[in-house]
Amino acid sequence: MNTYTTKRKRHLRPMQAIALGFAIIILAGTFLLMLPISLKAGKELPFYDALFTSTSAVCVTGLLVTDSADTFTAFGQTVLGILIQIGGLGITTIGLGFISMAGKKIRMRDRVLLREALNYPSMMGLRGLIKWVILTTFIVEAIGAFLSFFVFIQDYPFWHAVGISVFHSIASFNNAGFDILGGGKGLSEYINNVPLNLITAFLIIAGGIGFLVISEVIKKRNIRKWSLHTKTVMLMTVILTFGGMLLLKIAQNDISWLAAFFTSVSTRTAGFSTYSIGNFSDAGLLIMMFLMMIGAAPGSTGGGIKVTSIFTIFRAIIAYPSGRSVTAFKKRIPSSTVNSAFTIFVVALSVVFCCTFMLSIFEPDIPLSDLLYESFSACATVGLSTGITAGLCLPSKICIIITMYMGRLGSLTIVGLFARKHTQLTELPEGQMPIG
């Protein structure tokens, strides 16, 4: 009697493929950053520091263990810029973009991957979406680099100013707090430079509201015709930007209105700072942690639990006492969306708690507020720090690396990595569970 063995093809689920793709790019970036051509003369970059830097770039975070300008050559800085660009748009978007431009057909499995990567609600129009995302990115970053050049040319030679402008525009649009100005000073010297503050804020907001929102705002000039998603993102962006600015000004008396505005914008996942984070009061840090956790919009280059999640949670809390459906802008929000929002919130807070707990064990001499701030920054892929990142021990750096990676993947992707397909044939009896 013959026995036949049938081998089934095992395909990675979309969320697993996305997670694996980011991991591969991070490792590739790690080895590229360690090459002699990437490092300036006399500089060395240990493997774990290279891994930390690559993870921070791909996860568009901006936490640094070494100064990018003082450590890396032009080649190394170019590698960083490419990693940031890939991390912001996603390996799936860029890969399928090349396939689309080559005129080849996008497979159904790839369409599912792209939908997951961009949080796109439909399987239709994905080829057009890819072209729109890439074109929008190129145009916005080109405008940002062009405008930034007129600021940096005043302080740097021509070609150096060109390089800084391009890098700054890429980092800003992709909400990554990297800079190549040198000296570890970041944008502190430009705290009163109105043009650069506004240009950078524009790039951060453009990348943070998401490509679907940008498309709808351009195509539909009438606000009443905007979708629920676009209305929510635009409303929350305005409230958080100016509300955060006001609260930061109240908490920090010596900060200017311009610096408060820039900090409010940058705190929601970008990670640039003109005002020293170490000088903020506890009240100021608390406000910034709240803004960091909320983050940007779905389908954007930013991180956090997303403005739509916090908006949905807020609307659900208001609706709960009356037992009514969760609504907004004369639309009913599905219960599945409400459940997803609460799941995202709980998972994100759990990641922050675990990271802070581990850091507290590894770094007993560092104040808890600094460790908590670092954890929020890593999980929300922001990149702001009170100045403790470079001095962390190896286990702490590994903890931050894992947190940045999980933050970039997002709460639903993390949950999806461990979820198994399960079909429940019968409805289980309902049980009572006292709550509160």
Hey, where are the domains in the chain?
A: 14-417
CA-closest candidate to residue 15, choices 142, 158, 112, 120:
112
* Secondary structure letter of residue 121 according to DSSP: S
CA distances from 370 to 286, 333, 360, 425 (A): 11, 37, 10, 50
Nearest-CA neighbor of 111 among 102, 103, 121, 101? 121
Least Cα distance to 416 among 352, 345, 344, 351 occurs for 344
* C-alpha–C-alpha distance, residues 198 and 266, integer Å: 11
Contact between 384 and 288 (Cβ < 8 Å): yes
The 10 Å Cβ neighbour count of residue 388 is 17
DSSP 110: H
- pLDDT tens string, the chain, 436 residues long: the values are 444 444 444 566 667 777 888 899 999 999 999 999 999 998 889 999 999 999 999 998 989 999 999 999 999 999 999 999 988 877 556 555 555 555 555 555 555 555 555 555 554 556 677 778 888 889 999 999 999 999 999 999 999 999 999 999 999 999 998 999 987 788 989 999 999 999 999 999 999 998 888 888 888 888 888 999 999 999 999 999 999 999 999 999 889 999 999 999 999 889 899 998 988 999 999 999 999 999 998 888 888 999 999 999 999 999 988 888 899 998 999 888 899 899 999 999 999 999 999 999 999 999 999 999 999 999 999 989 998 998 999 999 999 999 999 988 887 777 777 666 555 556 678 777 776 6
Instruction: Give residue 115's pLDDT.
Output: 58
Residue 390: burial class (beta carbons within 10 Å; 0-12, 13-18, 19+): middle
pLDDT at residue 369 in the model:
92
Stated as kind and residue range, the H or E segment containing 404 is: helix 394-409
Question: Closest by alpha carbon to 167, among 99, 69, 254?
Answer: 69
- CA torsion sign, 50 to 398 to 90 to 81? negative
Q: Where are the alpha helices (DSSP H) in 5-125?
A: 14-33, 47-58, 68-71, 74-89, 91-101, 108-118
Beta carbons of 409 and 60 less than 8 angstroms apart: no
- Helix, strand, coil percentages (3-state) for the chain, rounded to 5, are 65, 0, 35
Separation CA 149–CA 131 (nearest Å): 27
**φ and ψ of 328, to 5 deg:** -165, 135
- CA dist., res. 205 & res. 208, Å (int): 5
What pTM was estimated for this model as a whole? 0.89
> So what's the pLDDT on residue 323?
84
Give the pLDDT of residue 95.
53
Residue 109 has a pLDDT of 55
E runs forming strands in 319-365: 327-328, 331-332
Return the beta strands (E) in 270-372 as ranges: 327-328, 331-332
Q: What value, to the nearest 5°, has the Cα angle with vertex 265 and ends 91 and 310?
A: 75
Rg (CA), the chain: 22
